[in-house]
Structure 1
Amino acid sequence: MPNSQSDALFILIKTLTKAEKRSFQLAFNKNNTKEDVLFIQLFNTLDKMKDYDEEQILRKVPDLKKQQLSNVKAHLYKHLLTSLRQLYKQKDAVIDLREQLDYARVLYNKGLYNQSLKVLAKAKSMAFEQEEVMLAYEIVEFEKLIESRHITRSLENRAEALSAESKQIQHQITNISMLSTLSLRMYGLYLKLGHARNERDAEMVKSFFESQLPPRGLAEMSFYEKVYMYQASCWYYYILQDFLMYYRYTQKWVDLFRQYPSLQHTDMDLYIKAQHNLLTAHFYTSNSEKFKTALCELEQFIATNGEDFHENTRTSAFVYLYTAKINRYFLEGTFTQGLAMVPELETEIGNHSLKIDQHRVLVFYYKIACLYFGSGDNSKAIVYLNKIINLKIGNLRADIQCFARILHLIAHYELENYSLVEYLIKSVYHFISKHKDLGLVMEEIMKFLRKYIYANPKELRNAFTDLKDRLEVISQDPYERRSFLYLDIISWLESKIDGIPVQDVIQRKFLNKERRI
């Protein structure tokens, strides 16, 4: 029996907004044929169900026979998509463009070649304006087909003009495909690898990236060619932890959208993603003023355009906005203040559960755990770290999984669960070794916990100082810096040495830096 996690129709209905449901019901209430009534009954039943259950469906809709269920579901799914297409064609320029192509095909089939060409000319102009290169190519090829098969008495030199357009678009498509593939593969590398762990990782990433770059110069590129080039470059420098170069390319990405303001609205997902990456760059370069400015711009864009967001855009906006909000608490050391946002964040994660991927959930849980740890609530931090440890996600973001286990050990150490720490050290060491992610920072922390679990306060304070000194030396290694991106272990050690909360240490560092600026 299908369940709620795999039944496509059930999942589609659960993602519908009130406006989308109303639009669908109005469309079917016009005729009220027997088949329409059955569709609406099935729709209403699925809409009210918490979990998908076929036996319950058949009881609630007695006119629906078991052998009919599969076909009726398939037809209902198709009608829902038709209704959604009609509803969103005014909001989505690509849907509207494709509809123009359909109209041109209908006119062509009726032998109205000039009318068809007129529709195609208008659609082509829209496609170029919106940088929809693939659709522009499809339109040009359709124009070529009409001109080659029929006498249309169109403009002189029409063949040469269409041939030149076709050739130019082919070059763009080839480059866009190459660069989008490169961007995707760099993202895949990051999900698998995280930040470069050593010289070998860095050389592998550099070699791959440089071998995949296209010969076409940046100045000759179209909008989406540049976007994918900037995206790929962002991932490249992010993996290498070159955050200054990462910042430069995120800024280029955002600035490109500012050069094409209409595309901020026709491709909102990509624009919001650009803003998210710029915020991340400001976070890692500790530029608090620019971070606050960029966060205000993201919030303003979401507030102004939120009503026009598709569900996908709404989910992206949620992920990026809340990630930035948490990062601001980290940047300023206001962890306790950030805890007020956790219930709201948990609710939003639940609201987007059908659309948000496990990677985002993993990152949110880790950031929430860090908020609790930073505020001194180690018990709550452990709750969220346990959620990460219990996620069945294989090697996805193995770096965060490893650091979650280290933080889990430290939180238990803070709670003086020494026997549990002693027990957990072996399993954590085994997990990290299995993922080949045991850097010098992790080794030092593991050795410290193993050696000083039961140390007296005076001996422990000296041990904290020694560990801090060793880690400060290690932090100069470019490939060990990644450990401090996930966990500000030095600030924690300073808090233990000075006998003050860790968030006070981080906040003091932030305020001192602000004064110097």
Structure 2
Amino acid sequence: MPNRSTDPLFQLIKSLEKSEKRNFKLYATRNTASDDLKIIQLFDALDKMDTYDEGILLKKNESIKKQQLSNLKAHLYKQLLSSLRLITDESNIDIQLHEQMDYARILYNKGLYLQSLKVLDKLKEQAKVKNQFTYLQQALFFEKNIEALHITRSIQNRADQLSKEADEVNDTLSLVSQLSNLALQLYSWYINHGHARNEQEANEVENFFVQKLGDKAGKCKSFFEKLFLYQSYCWNAFIRQDFLQYYRYTQKWVNIFEEEPYMIAIESGHYIKGMHNLMGSHFDLANHQKLKETLDKFDLFCDSDIVKSSINNSIQCFVYRTISVFNKHFLEGSFSEGIELIPEIEAKLKEYEIYLDRHRILVFYYKIACLYFGSGNYEKAIDYLNKIINWKMDLRSDLQCYSRLLHLIAHYELGNEKILDHLIKSVYRFMAKMQTLSVVEEEIFKFLRNSFHLSVRTIKPELEKLLLKLKHHQNNRFETRAFIYLDIISWIESKLENIPVQEVLKKKFSNKRNYS
């Protein structure tokens, strides 16, 4: 994937739909009959560019001087946002409440205090119903100012009532802030480190979680309090690879939206993320039926107006739906069928490239590489793994490690003896340096280091020994990540049975369905 431009103005223009571009030009030329405004010229020039290049921009638009460019870009950026604000969906609760607050201030500035208070009462009621406590806090602060500065005689015992309301809102916001901090810190730990690699790391995460959570769980009553509480439990369990608890709290996360369905439109991002984690928990627990049911439900949501009316929701739904579709193919062993989706997925990646963060792109590359590996196309798997290995970054060290390990095994499958010794040493050094070498990985390395020199007759007993050793560690939660990122047991079984990996997984999937 090419480097994405980080110029904010260019990114904003490229995100616009045709109707939004048309609206901007009408807005920008509202006070003039000339279409030669410099910001319009700059807009058109940037709109035609595939990637941002300031040198080419100035060369093709000589009327725009370099010393003017910075101010012109800032002015154009502001004008674009103003034009978008005029056509923004008025059903958005944030915009509705912000508008009510503006009306209240306008009325106050006109000296119409009682009318201003009536608007604030309406705002407060709407904010309470929709769980918008930050707006409720602002309304209460403004209301207290009016009562303190003017004799309104609006209601008896107003001071006590307002003080009580303000204290309750402040307590709620304080608890929400503490829980959201905890959820964010745990999620950040995972993004930077992946899963806990040993008992020490798991204990460190658990102790941090328990210390920060304290007695807050019993105080959670409002929507956002429960949302961030469940997210905190979710990330804590996921990092420690307690996948049963991870499932329980992702289900609670989704359930609170189903209990208050109007919140799905208000906090779509959190709902989408919750569904993603719920589907991920079903994959981690190898619960194919639950994954399929939840994916079908998510598909219906992806076709809703809530998603179609928002580019952000559309992108997130594409990302998380695709990952779950990949995971479904992994559980079924239908790698070849999954490969058929790759051209369409890559087209979407290209379409959304200015929006997608590096972490998501890496996950896609690894999933695609696994599809190719499982189908027996090791060359294509290596191509995608190289994209990860050669991408210099500091995120997801676990993905970097397992990409190198899968890359090594793919070369082993291809019989690339000349580079195998070098790769084994290189990958071993990398993983040892990252302090991520597990017992399972040690066993894999021992086998790979010795087996290339074994004959066909003698390699089978060695594979059988390796299989027994790995199965012994299969239920160790700190070795789980090795089996999630790379189903090494199915690979060994495929070598013993002399059939493709996907055939082994299809047999397992079929047997599991027949048994259930």
How far 1:351 moved relative to its partner?
1.5
How far 1:86 moved relative to its partner?
2.0
In the alignment, what sits opposite 2:428?
429
In the alignment, what sits opposite 2:343?
343
In the alignment, what sits opposite 2:402?
403
C-alpha contact 1:335 1:372 (8 A) present in aligned 2: yes
Aligned pairs for 1:72-111 within 5 A? 72-111=72-111
In the alignment, what sits opposite 1:297?
297
- Structure 1 residues 4 and 56 mapped into 2: Cα distance closer, same or farther (>3 Å)? farther
Please, which moves more after superposition, 364-373 or 40-49? 40-49
In the alignment, what sits opposite 2:360?
360
Please, which moves more after superposition, 377-386 or 95-104? 95-104
In the alignment, what sits opposite 1:326?
326
- Structure 1 residues 4 and 446 mapped into 2: Cα distance closer, same or farther (>3 Å)? closer
In the alignment, what sits opposite 1:53?
53
Is residue 458 of structure 1 aligned with residue 452 of structure 2? no
C-alpha contact 2:254 2:274 (8 A) present in aligned 1: yes
- Structure 1 residues 155 and 15 mapped into 2: Cα distance closer, same or farther (>3 Å)? same
Separation of aligned partners in 2, 1:59 and 1:429: 50
What CA deviation, in whole Å up to 9, does each residue of 1:92-126 have, x standing for no partner?
22122212212222222222212221222222222
C-alpha contact 1:257 1:264 (8 A) present in aligned 2: yes
Counterpart of 1:470, as a letter, is K
Aligned pairs for 1:201-240 within 5 A? 201-218=201-218, 220-240=220-240
How far 1:41 moved relative to its partner?
1.7
Separation of aligned partners in 2, 1:492 and 1:65: 62
Separation of aligned partners in 2, 1:386 and 1:216: 45
In the alignment, what sits opposite 2:440?
441
Is residue 498 of structure 1 aligned with residue 508 of structure 2? no
Separation of aligned partners in 1, 2:130 and 2:21: 30
- Structure 1 residues 453 and 4 mapped into 2: Cα distance closer, same or farther (>3 Å)? closer
In the alignment, what sits opposite 1:113?
113
Two-structure CA RMSD over aligned residues (Å): 1.7
How far 1:242 moved relative to its partner?
1.2
C-alpha contact 2:378 2:413 (8 A) present in aligned 1: yes
Aligned pairs for 1:228-307 within 5 A? 228-305=228-305
What CA deviation, in whole Å up to 9, does each residue of 1:99-154 have, x standing for no partner?
22122222222222122212222222222122111111111111111111111221
Please, which moves more after superposition, 429-438 or 27-36? 27-36
What CA deviation, in whole Å up to 9, does each residue of 1:322-369 have, x standing for no partner?
111111101111011000111111111121111111111111111110
How far 1:20 moved relative to its partner?
1.9
Separation of aligned partners in 2, 1:488 and 1:121: 59
C-alpha contact 1:183 1:229 (8 A) present in aligned 2: yes
**Structure 2 regions of 5+ residues with no counterpart?**
none
Separation of aligned partners in 1, 2:54 and 2:480: 53
- Identity of paired residues, percent? 47
Separation of aligned partners in 1, 2:100 and 2:227: 27
Separation of aligned partners in 1, 2:435 and 2:471: 23
- Structure 1 residues 467 and 217 mapped into 2: Cα distance closer, same or farther (>3 Å)? closer
Counterpart of 1:341, as a letter, is L
Separation of aligned partners in 2, 1:508 and 1:58: 62
How far 1:28 moved relative to its partner?
2.4
Please, which moves more after superposition, 53-62 or 369-378? 53-62
Counterpart of 2:504, as a letter, is V
SS in 2 for 1:88: coil
C-alpha contact 1:202 1:240 (8 A) present in aligned 2: yes
In the alignment, what sits opposite 1:199?
199
In the alignment, what sits opposite 1:185?
185
Counterpart of 1:263, as a letter, is M
Please, which moves more after superposition, 311-320 or 225-234? 311-320
In the alignment, what sits opposite 1:473?
472
How far 1:219 moved relative to its partner?
6.2
Separation of aligned partners in 1, 2:270 and 2:362: 22
What CA deviation, in whole Å up to 9, does each residue of 1:58-97 have, x standing for no partner?
4544443333222221111001111122222414221222
Aligned pairs for 1:29-178 within 5 A? 29-32=29-32, 37-178=37-178
C-alpha contact 2:4 2:354 (8 A) present in aligned 1: no
Counterpart of 1:360, as a letter, is R
Separation of aligned partners in 2, 1:292 and 1:460: 39
C-alpha contact 1:4 1:10 (8 A) present in aligned 2: no
Separation of aligned partners in 2, 1:354 and 1:214: 40
SS in 1 for 2:354: coil
How far 1:249 moved relative to its partner?
0.6
Separation of aligned partners in 2, 1:35 and 1:104: 38
Aligned pairs for 1:299-318 within 5 A? 299-305=299-305, 308-318=308-318
Separation of aligned partners in 2, 1:447 and 1:251: 41
How far 1:276 moved relative to its partner?
0.8
SS in 2 for 1:152: coil
Counterpart of 1:278, as a letter, is L
Separation of aligned partners in 1, 2:154 and 2:50: 59
C-alpha contact 1:9 1:77 (8 A) present in aligned 2: yes
Q: Which runs of 4+ in 1 moved over 6 A?
A: none
How far 1:215 moved relative to its partner?
2.6
C-alpha contact 2:29 2:35 (8 A) present in aligned 1: no
How far 1:308 moved relative to its partner?
4.7
C-alpha contact 1:335 1:375 (8 A) present in aligned 2: yes
C-alpha contact 1:409 1:425 (8 A) present in aligned 2: yes
Separation of aligned partners in 1, 2:480 and 2:191: 18
Please, which moves more after superposition, 494-503 or 450-459? 450-459
Separation of aligned partners in 1, 2:327 and 2:238: 17
Separation of aligned partners in 2, 1:285 and 1:489: 17
C-alpha contact 2:408 2:423 (8 A) present in aligned 1: yes
- Structure 1 residues 308 and 415 mapped into 2: Cα distance closer, same or farther (>3 Å)? closer
Counterpart of 2:298, as a letter, is L
SS in 1 for 2:87: helix
**Structure 1 regions of 5+ residues with no counterpart?**
none
- Structure 1 residues 221 and 446 mapped into 2: Cα distance closer, same or farther (>3 Å)? same
| Count of residues paired in the alignment | 514
How far 1:32 moved relative to its partner?
2.5
C-alpha contact 2:342 2:368 (8 A) present in aligned 1: yes
- Structure 1 residues 91 and 340 mapped into 2: Cα distance closer, same or farther (>3 Å)? farther
C-alpha contact 1:176 1:225 (8 A) present in aligned 2: yes
How far 1:217 moved relative to its partner?
4.2
In the alignment, what sits opposite 1:380?
380
In the alignment, what sits opposite 2:389?
389
C-alpha contact 2:302 2:317 (8 A) present in aligned 1: yes
How far 1:169 moved relative to its partner?
0.6
How far 1:259 moved relative to its partner?
0.7
In the alignment, what sits opposite 2:28?
28
- Structure 1 residues 379 and 281 mapped into 2: Cα distance closer, same or farther (>3 Å)? same
Counterpart of 1:402, as a letter, is C
Counterpart of 2:114, as a letter, is N
How far 1:422 moved relative to its partner?
1.1
